Every structure is written in structure tokens, then in C-alpha cells.
Amino acid sequence: MKRVSYLVLIFFLGIFATVERTMAQPMELKKINLNVFRIDAATVAARVNGDFAAEGLDVDVTPTPNSTEQMRGVSQGKFEIVSTAFDNVLAWSGREGAEIIAVAQISDKTVLPVFVRPEIKTWSDLKGKKLAADAVDTAFALVLRRVLLANGLDMTKGDYELVALGATGARLESMLKG
């Protein structure tokens, strides 16, 4: 009888050890590559507080240098999710084989300011200048071209040159340098 009791005890100890070992193993996290223009506070907080991990996610956040790299990356499977302006989704849908789906829009209205150096006082002061954009073939750049045209500046006539410089930081740096 003692022999049976020991066997039963060993059996249950083995089961408990296996269950404990299984429960102690960390959950395997699903890796998600997120590409953004700037890392927002909510994403930082979710990473720091372990909210992504609690949901079984390992979110790797990569800032993008420009929308072209971002859209090419998502279309080639380098990123599963991107946070971008809707004009990039429109511009890239179907391009280079991309199948891009917009899930949500962050804001209900988009403000598209034109930032210039202090010596630029009027629209006509932009004549002959190089103007920076993230990319020259997205809707935001087309809006800029339309605004400039409405103010007497026509890119097709050589009134200005539109240059793709990438994300906001690169454009600001270029403007500050002159």
C-alpha cells in the first residue's frame, strides 16, 4: 500500500511540477511592426505600462523618414501597421502591388499650414524658390500646388520647384538652413 501511495504522490507531484512550469512560462507575444511619423504618448504609455504585452503583443515602433519609405514598407510586408495621413493611403493604393486598407482617421479635419522663412511675406515671394514636401506625389502636395496656383504660382511654368524631403523634421531642418 505504501508503494501505491508513493507512486500516486510522485504522479501528482509530477503533474503539479508540469502545471507550474507551464504556468510560469511567459506568454509568447505576437510581434507587430508599427511605423509612424512620430511616436505618440499613448503608444509610449502602452509599451511602458505593459499594456501591449498584456494583450499578447510585442509592438516594435519605428519612426519613418518619409511617406514613400513608409508606404513601400507596408506594401512589402516590413510593417503590419502604419500611422499615416490618408493622402498616403490614396496615393499608394495599388501602387507597386500595394493592398493598403485604411482602418480609421485620427481627426475629422486636417489643417495644412504652409510654413515659410521670416523673409517670405507674400505668396509671390515664393517665386523661384524650392519648396519642401514629404513627397511630391501625394494629395497634400497636390493641395499645396493648388493653393500656390490660386495665388499666382504655377509649378508647370517654373515658378517654383517642389522637392521631396521627407517627414516634418527634415523639412524644418532644410527651411532653417535656408
Q: Which of 14-18, 52-56, 75-79 has the lowest mean pLDDT?
A: 14-18
Q: How many angstroms separate the CA atoms of 118 and 26, rounded?
A: 56
Alpha helix locations (H) across the chain? 2-24, 41-48, 51-54, 67-75, 86-92, 139-150, 168-177
Q: Is residue 104 part of a domain?
A: no
Q: How many domains does the chain have?
A: 1
Q: Is residue 73 part of a domain?
A: no
Q: Is residue 161 part of a domain?
A: yes
| pLDDT score at 92 | 84
DSSP 8-state symbol, 65 = S
Q: Which of 83-87, 96-100, 165-169 has the lowest mean pLDDT?
A: 96-100
| pLDDT score at 124 | 97
Q: Is residue 129 part of a domain?
A: yes
| pLDDT score at 157 | 97
What does each C-alpha distance from 42 to 3, 45, 48, 52 come to in angstroms? 60, 5, 10, 11
Q: Is residue 169 part of a domain?
A: yes
Domain that holds residue 161: 123-177
Based on C-alpha coordinates, what's the Rg of the chain?
Answer: 27
